[in-house]
Amino acid sequence: MTRRLAVGTALAAALIVTPSLTTVVEGQTGVTMAAGEEKEICTGVKASVAPDPPKFGGLRTVGDPKGGAAVHIFYKAKDTTAAVSESLACTAGNEKQTVNLNVTPKRNPVSGFSDEAYPQAFKALFLLFVLAALLESALAILFNWRPFVETFNSRAVKPVVSLAFSLALVYMFQIDIVTSLAKLIRPDVPSLDDTGRILTAMVIAGGSAAINNLMVGLGFRQVRTPDTVVPKPPADKGWISVSIIRTKEIKGPVTVAIGVANPGGQVPVVASIEQSTRPAYRYFFRDRGRFPGSGGYALTKGDNVTVKVSALKNDTSNTTLEKTWGPHVIADGAIIDLTFTMSA
């Protein structure tokens, strides 16, 4: 009985004297630190680390401040401009454990970027440029399609269509470049999930418009919008547009005449409108009740201009309902929008 008690006492003493292996990251074998940072990686009786010295850092051994047999080994990461990692073997007593070290690059104190971040950021921005260029080229066939040009207000509809296709692109390929760029500054930044993808899609859609403007400016592509049918008048001209509100009092098309009246009082006819203006739809569709469909009809400054609109009355008399504006002298750069309600 006395012998068994002595053996048990000896085992208990051994367990108390020999501490278990611990690492800085409670029970885990992965340690992450920044370049130049120091952390404890191995603790125990007669603790040692191999290889010594490590490839990407230095070791420092400290004895137990309480005078015990345990040793504390610290690892200080070297300054580095690129992310590195290495595995060290930590031995304490009869225990051996592998410690995986991950060292993040040293960052620029001004910009917050590491030297490695610049090429990564360039790759991300280059990918954005390529995606925007591909999207613009793919959508050009739609935006230059004559029914699209003649039906929709391009300046209002094109951004919406570009954004819709950009969203489909980033979700199909799971692209989140905005979050990737943010992680170059702070690796621990959380993912933005849908917000990051939506922002990426907006950047791609906006970039496609910028690329289109660049190609137009370089002469590789012609602007195809309704506004180019009637160019913006120079400084010595003015613009006039006519919108028609149809009522049940008229039938058939409305004739629009704009210009300088001849000695007989006749004004040059410029359009025949069969529909009523729809201002609420003008942001997305071409206005079929307006002449011209967008922009204005150019007239020379100083001309004494008259505008006449006429249509047949909706009765058996077949008389003409006519309304007149002017004559008025056109000023430099004038923009005149006229609306006529065709009723008695």
Q: Are residues 138 and 86 in the same domain?
A: no
pLDDT tens digits, one per residue of 166-220? 999 888 888 888 888 777 777 666 766 788 888 888 888 887 666 666 556 656 5
**Residue 273 pLDDT > 80:** yes
Q: Are residues 223 and 236 in the same domain?
A: no
Strand order in the sheet with 38-45: 38-45, 70-77, 57-63
pLDDT of residue 23: 43
**Residue 16 pLDDT > 70:** no
Q: Are residues 36 and 83 in the same domain?
A: yes
Q: Are residues 156 and 204 in the same domain?
A: yes
Among 176, 203, 227, give the residue marking a domain's end: 227
Q: Is residue 7 part of a domain?
A: no
Q: Percent of the chain scored above 70 by pLDDT? A: 77
* Lookup result for tokens 């993808």: 197
Q: Are residues 239 and 318 in the same domain?
A: yes
Q: Is residue 169 part of a domain?
A: yes
User: Which residues lie closer than 8 Å to 64 by C-beta, 6 or more apart?
Assistant: 70, 71, 72
Q: Are residues 213 and 236 in the same domain?
A: no
Residue pair 172/131 in contact by the 8 Å Cβ criterion = no
Please state the rounded mean pLDDT for residues 280-297: 79
**Residue 48 pLDDT > 80:** yes
More confident residue, 115 or 248: 248
Mean pLDDT, the chain, as a whole number? 78
pLDDT of residue 220: 56
Q: Are strands 290-291 and 297-300 parallel, antiparallel or unpaired?
A: unpaired
pLDDT of residue 205: 85
Q: Is residue 151 part of a domain?
A: yes
Among 227, 243, 260, give the residue marking a domain's end: 227
Q: Percent of the chain scored above 90 by pLDDT? A: 12
CA angle 83, 85, 87 (to 5 degrees): 175
Among 44, 72, 104, give the residue marking a domain's end: 104
Q: Are residues 154 and 168 in the same domain?
A: yes
**Residue 84 pLDDT > 80:** yes
**Residue 14 pLDDT > 50:** no
pLDDT tens digits, one per residue of 236-261? 888 999 998 998 888 889 999 999 99
* Lookup result for tokens 């199909």: 172
pLDDT range class, residue 270, cuts 50, 70, 90: very high
Q: Are residues 62 and 143 in the same domain?
A: no
Residue 337: give its domain's CATH number.
2.60.40
Q: Is residue 314 part of a domain?
A: yes
Q: Is residue 9 part of a domain?
A: no
Q: Is residue 35 part of a domain?
A: yes
Q: Is residue 11 part of a domain?
A: no
pLDDT of residue 188: 67
Q: Are residues 160 and 195 in the same domain?
A: yes
Q: Are residues 333 and 291 in the same domain?
A: yes
Region label for 333, one of left (φ > 0), alpha (ψ between -120 and 50) or beta (otherwise): left
pLDDT range class, residue 126, cuts 50, 70, 90: confident
pLDDT of residue 325: 93
pLDDT of residue 219: 62
334 backbone dihedrals φ, ψ, rounded to 5°: -65, 140
Total domains present in the chain: 3
**Residue 1 pLDDT > 50:** no
pLDDT range class, residue 18, cuts 50, 70, 90: very low
Residue pair 333/277 in contact by the 8 Å Cβ criterion = no
Alpha helices for 51-153 (secondary structure H): 117-143, 146-151
pLDDT of residue 63: 83
Q: Are residues 186 and 272 in the same domain?
A: no
Please state the rounded mean pLDDT for residues 9-13: 44
Q: Are residues 188 and 208 in the same domain?
A: yes
pLDDT of residue 213: 64
Q: Is residue 33 part of a domain?
A: yes
pLDDT of residue 29: 61
pLDDT tens digits, one per residue of 138-171? 888 888 887 887 777 777 788 888 899 999 988 8
Write out the two tokens for 153: 């207000």
pLDDT of residue 308: 94
Owning domain of residue 318: 230-342
